C-alpha cells in the first residue's frame, strides 16, 4: 500500500479500482517540462540581448561613418581654403594699383616723377618734366616767381613732404557750419559753386579740413581691422598706409583740400568722372584757384590714385599756370627745385 502511494505521488496516477477526490489530488510536477521552459526563457533573453547589441553596434558604426565623413569634408575645406588664401596673397603681391577708396583718405599709387637734366646748345640747364615737356631756365624762373607770390597756397603735403605738427590753418565754417575750410579759399569757393549752379549743377562737399587726430583715427581704425584678420601690428600698419595717408601727410590737414561730389551722385568713387557736374568743375575750377589734385594717368607722379572729386586750392595765378602746363603740384615742385 505504501509503495503504491509513493508511485502515485511520483508518477501522478491512481491505481486501478481506486479514485481520488478533488481534495486528494496534488499538482503534478513534470521535471522535463520545467527544464524545457527554463531553456526557452533563457534563449529568448539571449536573443533579446543580441538584438539590442546589434542595434547599439549599428548606431556606433553609423556615428563613426558620420565622423569620418565630417573629417573628410573639413580636410577638403581647409585644403581649398589654404589654396585660395595662397592665391590671394600672390595676386595681392604681384598686382599693383589697389582700387580701395576712403571717404576720409586717399588712394595710393606707385612710381616716381622723372626730371631729367639736359644741356641745350647755349649750355643752359634744361629739364624734362613728367610727360617729357622741356623746362627752360626761363620757365623755371617763372615758376619760382609764382611760388614766391603764393608760397602759403602752394604748400605740398604728401609722403615725402610731411606737414609740420605746429601748422595751424586759419579756418572758417562752410556748409552751414557742417565743415571747416581755409578762410583764404572761401570767396573763390562760393564763386565757383555759384557759377556751377548757374550752369545747372548742384554739389555736395563731403570733406574739407581734417585735423591730425581725425586722420590718426582713420589709420587706427584700419589697423584694428587688419589685426582682427590676423595681421601683426607692424604688418597691419604697413597695409593701412597703402590706402590711407598717415597723419601729417594728408592735404586735408591744410584746410585747402575739398572733396566735392555731384548732388546727383554722392558716391565717392570714379563714377564721379562721368557726371556732367564734375566735368564742368574739372574744366573750369582753375578760373577760381582750384586744381584737380590727383588727375587720371598721373598716379605715378602723385603716388595717389585717380580721385575725380578731390580739389585743391592753390590760388588763381598758380591754378591757371598749372592748368596751362598740365602739371601736378609735384611736377611744379620739381621744376622750382624745392
Contacts of 308 (CB under 8 A, 6+ apart): 270, 272, 273, 278, 282, 292, 296
Name the catalytic one among 253, 307, 330, 331: 307
Half-sphere exposure in the Cβ direction for 243 (13 Å, CA): 18
Say how far apart CA 173 and CA 250 lie, in whole Å: 20
Cell 598716379 belongs to residue: 299
Cell 583718405 belongs to residue: 105
b/e map of 179-205 (b: 16 or more CB within 10 Å)?
Answer: bbbbebbeebbeebbebbeeeebebeb
Closest CA to 291 of 330, 264, 322: 322
User: 98 phi and psi, to 5 degrees?
Assistant: -65, 155
Locate 272 and state its grid cell.
564721379
307 belongs to the catalytic site: yes
Half-sphere exposure in the Cβ direction for 73 (13 Å, CA): 6
Provide the angle, in degrees to the nearest 10, between the axes of the packed helices 137-149 and 329-336: 110
Say how far apart CA 170 and CA 2 lie, in whole Å: 140
What is the DSSP secondary structure assignment for residue 304, as one 8-state letter?
B
Locate 137 and state its grid cell.
631756365
Say how far apart CA 154 and CA 157 lie, in whole Å: 9
Distances (CA, A) of 73 to 70, 78, 166: 5, 9, 59
Locate 171 and state its grid cell.
579756418
Residues forming the active site: 307
Amino acid at each position: 500500500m505504501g509503495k503504491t502511494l509513493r508511485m502515485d505521488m511520483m508518477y501522478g496516477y491512481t491505481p486501478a479500482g481506486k479514485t481520488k477526490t478533488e481534495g486528494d489530488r496534488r499538482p503534478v510536477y513534470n521535471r522535463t517540462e520545467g527544464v524545457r521552459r527554463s531553456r526557452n526563457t533563457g534563449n529568448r533573453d539571449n536573443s533579446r540581448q543580441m538584438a539590442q547589441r546589434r542595434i547599439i553596434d549599428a548606431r556606433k558604426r553609423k556615428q563613426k561613418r558620420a565622423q569620418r565623413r565630417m573629417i573628410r569634408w573639413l580636410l577638403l575645406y581647409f585644403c581649398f581654403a589654404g589654396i585660395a588664401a595662397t592665391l590671394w596673397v600672390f595676386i595681392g603681391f604681384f598686382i599693383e594699383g589697389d582700387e580701395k577708396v576712403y571717404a576720409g583718405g586717399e588712394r595710393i599709387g606707385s612710381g616716381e616723377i622723372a626730371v631729367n637734366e639736359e644741356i641745350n646748345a647755349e649750355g643752359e640747364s634744361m629739364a624734362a618734366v613728367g610727360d617729357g615737356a622741356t623746362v627752360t631756365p626761363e620757365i623755371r624762373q617763372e615758376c619760382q616767381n609764382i611760388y614766391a607770390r603764393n608760397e602759403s597756397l602752394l604748400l605740398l603735403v604728401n609722403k615725402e613732404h610731411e606737414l609740420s605738427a605746429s601748422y595751424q590753418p586759419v579756418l572758417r565754417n562752410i556748409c552751414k557750419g557742417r565743415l571747416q575750410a581755409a578762410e583764404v579759399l572761401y570767396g573763390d569757393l562760393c564763386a565757383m559753386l555759384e557759377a556751377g549752379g548757374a550752369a545747372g549743377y548742384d554739389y555736395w562737399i563731403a570733406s574739407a579740413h581734417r585735423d591730425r587726430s581725425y586722420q590718426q583715427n582713420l589709420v587706427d581704425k584700419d589697423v584694428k581691422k587688419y589685426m582682427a584678420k590676423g595681421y601683426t601690428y607692424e604688418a597691419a600698419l604697413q597695409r593701412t598706409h597703402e590706402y590711407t595717408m598717415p597723419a601729417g601727410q594728408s592735404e586735408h590737414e591744410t584746410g585747402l583740400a575739398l572733396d566735392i561730389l555731384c548732388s546727383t551722385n554722392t558716391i565717392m568713387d570714379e563714377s564721379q568722372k562721368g557726371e556732367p557736374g564734375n566735368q564742368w568743375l574739372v574744366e573750369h575750377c582753375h578760373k577760381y584757384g582750384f586744381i584737380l589734385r590727383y588727375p587720371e594717368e598721373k598716379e605715378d607722379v602723385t603716388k595717389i590714385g585717380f580721385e575725380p572729386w578731390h580739389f585743391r586750392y592753390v590760388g588763381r595765378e598758380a591754378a591757371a599756370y598749372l592748368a596751362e602746363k598740365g602739371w601736378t603740384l609735384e611736377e611744379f615742385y620739381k621744376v622750382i627745385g624745392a
